Structure 1
Amino acid sequence: MASAPQLPLFYNGLEPLSSQQHGDWKIRGQDTAPFLVGQHAIPVTVEEFPLVQRFMPIVFSMGDDAIPLALMGLNEGVNVFVDDAGKLGENIYVPAYIRRYPFMLARLRPEADELSLCFDPSANMLGAFDEGEPLFAGDQPSEATKQILGFNETFEQAGLRTQQFMRELREMDLLMDGEVTIELQGAPQPFVYRGFQMVNEEKLANLRGDQLRKISQSGMLPLIYAHLFSLALMRDIFARQAERSGTPAPVELPTF
């Protein structure tokens, strides 16, 4: 995900972090995430499924290169977990994709083998500030930068394991187009949400013994069920949207 040629979600640009150019820069803490406002679907890794499924539905994007997504809203432009300033609600799990911003590992050239620590230059949490954690100690990365690099390396490794999980789902033909129908008393018709993929429970139940044993031993099976159990939260997200701005209109989730 990090090495894709197009800019990922949230990022307006990418610049490599350098002691020559950013030697006097600091990173300061933020109590809001304005880049989250209006973002309703956030990529997640398989390691996060057990925690994410307690708070948000986990679905898969459309297309052959599908990725797991945590839904923070059912309609495009709606995030029920942040206020208008981007302040996150308390006692929720914040996906690692959000926590790594404004940093990420990326290839500086398409032919490069190594990934470099880069950042979004439009982010207002980095700069030559008087306050904050220094990014460098002389010409060497500071302890804060080493921790940031470590987190991003762990995230990249989790992304590779997530890609493998998705390959396995496709090879076993377990994904299908998803649809969630929510009926409200007094509504003239149900609210139907489409535009995502989900695991086909019928195909999962009919897997051969060797296939079922394989995904059980590999750890895939509990991840699949975490996804399936999380879909019940669609109704909770729907209710939160209705409380915030009236009953949401049924729409297709955008293709990622």
Structure 2
Amino acid sequence: MASAPQSANLPLFYKDLMPLNSRDHATWRARGLDKAPWLAEQHAVPLTVEEFPQAQRFYPIIFASGENPVPLALMGLNDGVNVFVDAEGKPEAPIYLPAYVRRYPFLLAKLSPDSEELSLCFDPTCDIVGDFSDGEPLFVDGQPSEATKNALSFCESFEQAGQRTGAFVEELQKHDLLMEGEVAIQQPGIDQPFVYRGFQMVNQDKLREVRGDVLRTWNQNGLLPLIHAHLFSLELLRDIFAKQVALGKGPEGATIPGTTNAPVNA
């Protein structure tokens, strides 16, 4: 799922990638943060299927438009608007932060297109990892520290979850269950509703037509509850709309921008 760290193909949040190694980063440290500045103006974040049960309590779960859709946690209806964090990326209230957000600035990536091995890399443009006097050391006596081991383990788990997410989406596509989404939101005092498009969702009519043996298999392997979590979460679109209006960032258009070909990882 990872690819060569080329600037033209960097995933969401990442401005550059550098392989982590004990030679160049022997004295470097990683700082802990209570905010995510890189999230402040991001309205949609990739999501893995393991996160659906928790994420659906806070965010509408949609699918990006295009041939290779990925699940997205929707944090705002307009580009540059995130109703869950302040201007510095600090959550306004306790929320579930997607693993994609928590993974930054680390990432597993191939160092060359021909390589099969994934290496732990990081974004050197951030202020989380660097040659600081504070923070957790990345190496101790030339060996990866606990902080580095934890980062590697988290990234490995994320890659595995990404593979399971890809299989989930493939199953939806196999049964032609994804359709172009549309939601109309009526605002008091305005005659015409705001109609949002530009994303994909599960077609409930086609879901009702799926054979019983298939549904039974989906129920046994946990896929059916994921579909229901996605469908139930769509009711939160109206909550997002209301939060934007309350913040004075009311919708300006009828398309959820930036939901086409959103990168789920490197």
Length-normalised TM-score, structure 2: 0.93
Give deviations 1:126-168, integer Å, cap 9, x for gaps.
1111111000012110011101111111111000000000110
Letter in 2 for 1:157: Q
Bigger mean CA deviation after superposition, 211-220 or 167-176: 211-220
Partner of 2:2: 2
Aligned-residue offset at 1:246: 4.6
Alignment pair present for 1:227 and 2:230:
yes
Partner of 2:149: 146
Residue number among 88, 95, 101 corresponding to 2:98 in the alignment: 95
Q: Structure 1 runs of 4+ off > 2 angstroms?
A: 1-5
- Secondary structure of 1:20's counterpart equals coil
Bigger mean CA deviation after superposition, 156-165 or 86-95: 86-95
Residue number among 238, 241, 254 corresponding to 2:241 in the alignment: 238
Partner of 1:37: 40
> Following the alignment from structure 2 to structure 1, what is the Cα–Cα distance between the partners of residues 90 and 216?
44
2:182–2:195 contact (8 Å) kept in structure 1: yes
2:49–2:164 contact (8 Å) kept in structure 1: yes
Alignment pair present for 1:200 and 2:233:
no
Aligned-residue offset at 1:33: 1.3
1:75–1:251 contact (8 Å) kept in structure 2: no
Q: Which has the higher contact order (CA 8 A, sep 6+)?
A: 2
> CA 1:246/1:149 → structure 2, altered by over 3 Å: closer, same or farther?
closer
Aligned-residue offset at 1:211: 1.8
- Secondary structure of 1:118's counterpart equals strand
Structure 1 portions without partners, runs of 5+: none
1:175–1:198 contact (8 Å) kept in structure 2: yes
- Secondary structure of 2:24's counterpart equals helix
Alignment pair present for 1:157 and 2:160:
yes
Residue number among 99, 104, 108 corresponding to 2:107 in the alignment: 104
Partner of 1:209: 212
> Following the alignment from structure 2 to structure 1, what is the Cα–Cα distance between the partners of residues 242 and 71?
23
> Following the alignment from structure 1 to structure 2, what is the Cα–Cα distance between the partners of residues 246 and 82?
14
Structure 2 portions without partners, runs of 5+: 262-266
- Secondary structure of 1:50's counterpart equals helix
> Following the alignment from structure 2 to structure 1, what is the Cα–Cα distance between the partners of residues 60 and 177?
18
Residue number among 237, 242, 247 corresponding to 2:250 in the alignment: 247
Q: Give the percent of matched residue pairs that are identical in Structure 1 and Structure 2.
A: 60
Residue number among 178, 183, 187 corresponding to 1:175 in the alignment: 178
Aligned length: 256
Length-normalised TM-score, structure 1: 0.97
2:124–2:130 contact (8 Å) kept in structure 1: no
> Following the alignment from structure 1 to structure 2, what is the Cα–Cα distance between the partners of residues 86 and 106?
26
> CA 1:198/1:28 → structure 2, altered by over 3 Å: closer, same or farther?
same
Give deviations 1:8-46, integer Å, cap 9, x for gaps.
000001110010000000011122211112100000000
> Following the alignment from structure 1 to structure 2, what is the Cα–Cα distance between the partners of residues 126 and 91?
25
Residue number among 125, 143, 146 corresponding to 2:128 in the alignment: 125
1:32–1:87 contact (8 Å) kept in structure 2: yes
> Following the alignment from structure 2 to structure 1, what is the Cα–Cα distance between the partners of residues 93 and 3?
32
Letter in 2 for 1:191: F
- Secondary structure of 2:225's counterpart equals helix
Alignment pair present for 1:73 and 2:76:
yes
> CA 1:246/1:124 → structure 2, altered by over 3 Å: closer, same or farther?
closer
Kindly report the root-mean-square deviation, in angstroms, between the aligned alpha carbons of the 2 structures. 1.2
Alignment pair present for 1:82 and 2:72:
no
Partner of 2:64: 61
Partner of 2:264: none
Letter in 2 for 1:176: M
2:19–2:122 contact (8 Å) kept in structure 1: yes
